[in-house]
Amino acid sequence: MNFFALQNNITPEQVRELIRKHGNDRAALTAAAKALPAQ
C-alpha cells in the first residue's frame, strides 16, 4: 500500500479510500489515483 501511494504520489489513506471505492483492481486504482490532485 505504501509503495502504491509513493508510486502514484498520493497518501496511504487515499489508497485505502480508493480500495474501498474501487476494490483491488490495480488498473482501476491507478486510474483513480491519477484522477486525484497531486499531494
Question: What are the angstrom distances between the C-alpha of 5 and each of 21, 25?
Answer: 16, 15
Backbone CA torsion sign across 10, 16, 17, 21: positive
The 10s digit of each residue's pLDDT in 1-39 is 899 999 999 999 999 999 999 999 999 999 999 998 765
What confidence score (pLDDT) does residue 36 get? 87
What confidence score (pLDDT) does residue 39 get? 58
What confidence score (pLDDT) does residue 25 get? 96
Q: Quick check: pTM over 0.85?
A: no
